[in-house]
Structure 1
Amino acid sequence: MTTTASSTPPTTPTTFTSFLKAKWRSSTTKVLKPWKPIPNTRDYIEKSWVQHNALNMAFDGDTMAPVAQSLLSGGCEVLDIGCGAGFWSMDMATKYPLSYFIGIDVDKNVFPNITMQKNLLFQRVDIMTTPLPYENDTFDYVFIRSMLDTLPDEGWDSVLQEIVRVMKRGAYLECVEPYANLFDTGPAMSTILGLIDSSANKRISATQLLNQQLPAVYNPWPNRLAPLSTLQSMRIHHTHTPIGKYGGALGSLMVQYWERTIKASSQDWILTKAISEKDLDTLHQEMLAEIETHETYMAWYSVVAQKKGYNGPAIVIEDYDTQAISQ
């Protein structure tokens, strides 16, 4: 895809407002259809908060990219794509007050309405409308979390090209995502996962099924980033998050995560008669018991890649399990 920068070079920003005015641009390209509706319920926001705190514990911090020193030094511009309620952006803006953060999401209703840090801004931006509304070489660091299943598989091709375009040379891209499957599940959790999959499949059109166009979750981030000639030094970190009190504070958080996942979808399941309210309550209680006996857990990964600008190492894959799953 060919994009053109503004004919007038932006002035050097002296404040966050002037930085934004210098970097904002228009966007008119046709919008892609998302795989799933955009949630803005209280359950979704609470689930996002729980997930944010759990992953902070699992990865021992908010970022795996080697950007801490640059962010502390100040002057860096960071983009949080699909920021939702903005928990990651707010934490980072507080931790690194001398750098600038922009959180973007298609649904502005989930943005926080509290007084925010002066170095943080939330904007309604639909990443499915390309080009992204920023100039070339704008950001030092781009962060994406739990976004892979929000676009059709082919949609990410153009979006990734746009993300790389707005990154500076040497900038880092970090994508955090869960693996598709849960591990050591029992029958109750397996039934719940089946209900979730059934709801997702109903949102895929007959034409997409006929053409075998599967959701992007089946093509994970490392596979998507590796072919991009503009990126280098890809590093993948793995971690596990136990689901259950057996996993301590982290495991208890993940129980809350799954309880809110169930609650957010329960009305849809009951209305479509996928399951009765009574049976769902029973299933829920069985799930809470079996995750302890089976020691169920999720696996997550963070993939970090750098936009070419200087020589770096080849692909490095390492395990980063900070929480023991079995005693």
Structure 2
Amino acid sequence: MSGTPNMTTATSTTTQTTPQTTASTTSFTSFLKSKWRSSTKAVKPWKPIPNTRDYIEQSWVQHNALQMAFDGDYMAPMTQSLLSGGCEVLDIGCGAGFWTMDMATKYPLSYFIGIDVDKNVFPSLSMQKNLFFQRVDIMTSPLPYENDTFDYIFIRSMLDTLPDSCWESVLQEIVRVMKRGAYLECVEPYTNLFDTGPTMSTIMTLIDTTSSIRISSTQQQGLQQQSTMPANYNPWPNRLAPLNTLKEMRIHHTHTPVGNHGGALGSLMVQYWERAIKASSQDWLQTKTTTEKELESLQQDMLTEVESHKTYMAWYSVVAQKKGYTGPTIIIEDVDAQVSEQ
């Protein structure tokens, strides 16, 4: 099975409100206090994708695989700014914070905030002083930050976590909190796998069914929904293109083999799909979409099939910049590195 998403643009309206937060006495949280927007409006709950242990493990495997596939943690031209220090970075839908923690470790002079609807998955161990996690529901409340707060916003594997019709208003909020000249990066897989057999096609159909069930559940809670189409069928380039506040959209493509035929990266992607099946299995069993025996057979057949078909996934990163910055470009030269090269 192969193909690319249809290039269409979704529209929507949604009502959003802002949660409250607390802050410590550190300089970083002082910055947060100055940028946090409060509101007295009630928050309307919704049913997010559950962050079970299987989903968290899947995210960990994905994080490591994409580091290899993209040869790094990001594609936006942010290295010089991150190294110079003082950059404010927002990771939307951070989950357990694997990307956020890695970035905070690599760039100790910049500041990183990870937000997610489920605070229970945030790291409980001690963290770097330049890292902070906050519980924020981006679908039912506007982002709780002042205008022009962040230099860089990162989003990964988030499209199918919200109903399709909610993304337009969410993106407007994202652009609002970006500084002039700030970068937005969105990383997502294409909806279809390539060179698949019948087993993997069945697994993909089951996953699409699970996504549709979650969308239906969200609709029952009264949120406006103009389309039941899974959000990831309308890719990021289509969603960002209508935003006239952004410019210079750049799209980077990469492929990740699924199976040992792809070496270390392919082995990671097999683990990714094994955990994806395990994470969704309870939904499938509860809705009687499949049986335990059928699930066991699917998992075994998948391992053989991806090798014989040499299955692979395709991913893309979209980077766009907010218009309006007219200041100087900061360039940092590492003198020690230049001397060592000579």
Which TM-score applies when normalising by structure 1?
A: 0.86
2:263 matched to which residue of 1? 248
2:36 matched to which residue of 1? 24
Flag the 1:189–1:247 CA change in 2: closer, same or farther, 3 A. same
Residues 86 and 110 in structure 2, CA contact (< 8 A), matched pair in contact too: yes
Q: CA deviation at 1:33?
A: 7.1
Q: Deviations over 1:284-305 (max 9, x none)?
A: 1111001001010110000000
Distance in 2, matches of 1:157 and 1:21, equals: 27
1:83 matched to which residue of 2? 94
State the secondary structure of the residue aligned to 1:48.
helix
1:297 matched to which residue of 2? 312
Amino acid at match of 2:111: Y
1:62 aligns with 2:62: no
Distance in 1, matches of 2:153 and 2:79, equals: 13
Amino acid at match of 1:295: K
How do 1:1-327 residues align onto structure 2 when only pairs under 5 Å count? 15-27=27-39, 37-205=48-216, 212-310=227-325
Deviating more after overlay: 161-170 vs 147-156: 147-156
Q: Deviations over 1:268-325 (max 9, x none)?
A: 22233222211211121111001001010110000000000248xxxxxxxxxxxxxx
Q: CA deviation at 1:131?
A: 2.3
Distance in 2, matches of 1:93 and 1:162, equals: 24
Q: Deviations over 1:19-61 (max 9, x none)?
A: 1111111145676776x63322111111110000000100000
Amino acid at match of 1:89: T
Percent of pairs with identical residues = 79
State the secondary structure of the residue aligned to 1:72.
helix
Distance in 2, matches of 1:205 and 1:39, equals: 15
Distance in 2, matches of 1:28 and 1:49, equals: 36
Distance in 1, matches of 2:41 and 2:161, equals: 18
State the secondary structure of the residue aligned to 1:156.
helix
1:6 matched to which residue of 2? none
Distance in 1, matches of 2:148 and 2:213, equals: 39
1:318 matched to which residue of 2? none
Coordinate RMSD, CA, aligned: 2.3
State the secondary structure of the residue aligned to 2:302.
helix
Deviating more after overlay: 144-153 vs 177-186: 144-153
State the secondary structure of the residue aligned to 1:143.
strand
Q: Which runs of no fewer than 5 residues in structure 2 stay unpaired?
A: 1-12, 14-24, 327-342
Flag the 1:288–1:228 CA change in 2: closer, same or farther, 3 A. same
1:8 matched to which residue of 2? none
Distance in 1, matches of 2:128 and 2:26, equals: 17
Deviating more after overlay: 91-100 vs 302-311: 302-311
The count of corresponding residues between Structure 1 and Structure 2 is: 299
Distance in 2, matches of 1:115 and 1:25, equals: 26
Amino acid at match of 1:20: L
State the secondary structure of the residue aligned to 1:160.
helix
Flag the 1:20–1:286 CA change in 2: closer, same or farther, 3 A. same
Q: Which runs of no fewer than 5 residues in structure 1 stay unpaired?
A: 2-12, 312-327
Residues 153 and 215 in structure 1, CA contact (< 8 A), matched pair in contact too: yes
Q: CA deviation at 1:107?
A: 0.3
Distance in 2, matches of 1:239 and 1:30, equals: 42
Distance in 2, matches of 1:166 and 1:88, equals: 20
Flag the 1:142–1:93 CA change in 2: closer, same or farther, 3 A. same
Residues 130 and 162 in structure 1, CA contact (< 8 A), matched pair in contact too: no
State the secondary structure of the residue aligned to 1:121.
strand
2:6 matched to which residue of 1? none
